[in-house]
Structure 1
Amino acid sequence: MNENSQNKNTNRVQLELKLGEQLNVIISASHALNVRTAASFDSTLQPAAFLIVRWLFSFGPANATVLSESTAMDRSSVSRLLNQLKNLGYVKSEQSPSDRRGVLLSLTELGRQRTIEALKEKETAFYERIANWNDSKLENFIELLKDFNSNSN
C-alpha cells in the first residue's frame, strides 16, 4: 500500500470516528428529550409508558400484542404500563368490533390532549436547534438525513 492510500484510509477512519461521535450526540440528545417529554406528559409514569402513548397517538387503537411488538417491550411490561395508563385516565379499553373477544386500547380525550401538549414542548426544543439555519442549510441537512436513513435496515 502506498503512502497516498494510507493517508486516504487514515483520513476515512478519522472521518468515520467523527461521524460516530456526532451520531452519539444525536442519539443521546434524542433520548434525553424523550425522557423530558415523557415527564411533561406525566412525571409519575416511567418513560416507557409514554412510548405506548405515542404509539397509540400516531397509529390509533391496537391490542396489547401489537403494542408489545411495536414498542419492543415484553408483554408483561406493556400490560403493567397499560394498567397504569388506564388508572390515570389516559387509555381506555374497548371491545374489538371485528373480534368480540378481542380488546382494543386507545387514548382517551385526556390522553390525547396531554400527548399533544407534551409533543409541542418536544417540537419547540427541536426547532430551537435549527431556528438560525437558512433554508439552504436546512434543505441540505434534510437531504443528507434522507440519504443516510434510506440505507437503514
Structure 2
Amino acid sequence: MQTTSGVGAPRRDDLERALGEQINAVVSATRALGERSAAHFHPRLQPAAFHIARWLYAFGPATPSVVAEAVHMDRSSTSTLIGKMRALGLLDAAPNPEDRRSIIVGLSTDGRDRVAATLADRGAVFREHTRNWSDDDLAQLVALLSRLTSEQHP
C-alpha cells in the first residue's frame, strides 16, 4: 500500500481504496462459493434454486409469492425453479389452507438433506480458510463486518 502522508502512515483515501479492493475480493470469493454450493446442492439446477432452498430451510414452507419476495426474485422465475425443484423431488407442495387456489411449498426430506450437506460443505470452506486464526481474530472480523453492514448513517 502506498503511503502518502509523509509520516509513514497510509492516507485515508488509500485505506478506503484498499478496503474497497478487499470487499471486492470477498464478493468474488462469495460468488464462487455460491456457485460451488449451488452445484453441490443439485448440479441440474440454476444457482438461484439453492437460494430458494436455503430460505425454505431457514424459514419453512411458504407460498411461491412469499418465497419470491424473500429471495428477491421475480415470481415467474421463482415459479419455474419451484416447478423444477418439485420435479426433482426436492420440494413438496400442498394446498394453501388459507387460499385453496394457491400452494404452500416446503423442502422434502431429500431437499432438507441436500441443503444441510451443502451448508456443511460451505462451513468446511470457511473453517479451512480460518483454521489458523485465533478466536479473537474471528470475533474481531465478525464485529467489524457487523459494524460495516449495520451502522446507521446520517
Match of 1:113 in 2: 113
Match of 2:99 in 1: 99
**How far 1:47 moved relative to its partner?**
0.5
**How far 1:17 moved relative to its partner?**
0.5
Where in structure 1 are there 5+ consecutive unaligned residues?
A: 1-5
Does residue 1:151 correspond to 2:144, yes or no?
no
Match of 2:17 in 1: 17
Match of 1:81 in 2: 81
Query: What TM-score, normalized by structure 2, do the two folds share?
Result: 0.88
RMSD across aligned C-alpha pairs, in angstroms?
1.9
**How far 1:151 moved relative to its partner?**
2.0
Query: What TM-score, normalized by structure 1, do the two folds share?
Result: 0.89
SS of 1:101's partner is: strand
Q: Any residues of structure 2 matched to 1:50-89 within 5 Å, and which?
A: 50-89=50-89
Q: Partners of 2:118 and 2:138 in 1: how far apart? A: 25
Q: Partners of 1:150 and 1:11 in 2: how far apart? A: 25
The letter of the residue matching 1:65 is S
Q: Partners of 2:5 and 2:53 in 1: how far apart? A: 50
Which one has the bigger helix percentage?
1
Q: Partners of 2:87 and 2:26 in 1: how far apart? A: 34
Aligned residue pair count = 147
Identity %: 40
Where in structure 2 are there 5+ consecutive unaligned residues?
A: none
SS of 1:44's partner is: coil
